Amino acid sequence: MHLEQQLRSRLERKDILLMTHIVLGYPSLAVNREVIRQMVENGVDCIEMQIPFSEPMADGPVILKANQDALANGTRVEDCFQFAAEMAEEYEIPFLFMTYYNIIFKYGEEDFFKRAAEIGIRGFIIPDLPPEMGKSFLALADQYQIAPILIFAPTSTDERMQELADYGRGFIYCVARRGVTGKKSEFGIDFIDYLKRCRAATTLPLAVGFGIQSKEDIEALKGKADMAVIGSRTIKLVEAEGAEAVGPFIAGLR
């Protein structure tokens, strides 16, 4: 089943979905494994697993540090593939890879797609690869049936959103505000108008991320978006209270 179909099937039972973000290898793959277990058991619908990169340009200080620490711990792309294969085999929810294009380029585009398809990865989020520069990437995404997740931003024009939507599959990732991940977002009139523009530009489900931190944030998105993305908040929670705190936090978001 393709990613969009999986998400729409879940939306038949829920008014909004939850997607979470982890950095593979931070603080360790063993902790990643426990965090994912708690996330899935408490109702997360989709998980993006970030393959760590030395210069994660879209990420704020929390995720930047997690990337750097994961690399310092010796996390390799091969470790990430092996771990992802284990997770996709164990759990029924869709798993995505999020990373930066240099990782894929160095590995080899087709080899990367082939390996990801073999282990059941459903989509890729690559923030630094505009579709105009990724023709071969998009062709391989179609060939291997892995959804290329495109990104809308508040600075995107209506015309640009429509262009991006034409290339995207699975869902559209709507960045809640300017800047990088981590800082809390505000959901005022400008934000609501922005989501209306996003909805008008595509028929794909809309996920909203960057600064989503609480049940109140998710409530504010209901009826406006299809999926809320939690990233930096769970990383900080694991740092402060350990992996066992993730389950109750996720459960409390509904």
Instruction: Give the active site residues.
Output: 48, 59
What letter does residue 231 receive in the DSSP assignment? -
Reading the block at residue 28, the tokens are: 């360790």
Q: What length does the chain have?
A: 254
Rounded alpha-carbon distances, angstroms, from residue 6 to 1, 46, 95, 138, 171: 6, 10, 11, 21, 11
H or E segment and range at residue 19: strand 17-23
CA angle 228, 53, 74 (to 5 degrees): 115
Asked if 48 and 94 touch (Cβ cutoff 8 Å), the reply is: no
- Local structure of 254: helix, strand or coil: coil
H or E segment and range at residue 228: strand 227-230
Asked if 18 and 43 touch (Cβ cutoff 8 Å), the reply is: yes
Reading the block at residue 251, the tokens are: 């459960």
**For the purposes of burial, counting CB atoms within 10 Å of the CB of 217, is it exposed (0-12), middle (13-18) or buried (19 or more)?**
buried
